[in-house]
Structure 1
């Protein structure tokens, strides 16, 4: 099996776009969760605060998306 990993140099990395679920919490707060990645979640008193915390978490963890091109055997 041949495997090719497509990566980008640091100066040409495309922006990553995430779909985020915003939810009002029973305690009056707000949570922001990246869809499909439940470990990436921020919460706050307002929507803006929850999103800011989520962005901070994403920047700290430095997620990377690579494209795998796998040739059939």
Structure 2
């Protein structure tokens, strides 16, 4: 068993995520999202989909990007 790095739960079905040369251990997708997913610069929600990026900033949608002055960013259809 391994201990989740977010909630410290010692869980027999924990899993590893390898990203940027580091290994992370989680007990749920929720904990993985809390640690790994970027946060929208405008509304601070976790970005679990594609999101948008402008000048190194992450946004959950074009509306939030526009609120921060990135009018050139558009949602994908």
Q: State the TM-score, normalizing by the size of structure 2.
A: 0.24
Question: Bigger relative contact order, structure 1 or 2, given CA contacts below 8 A and separation 6+?
Answer: 1
Name the structure with the higher helix share.
1
Which structure: larger Rg?
Answer: 1
Name the structure with the higher strand share.
1
Q: State the TM-score, normalizing by the size of structure 1.
A: 0.25
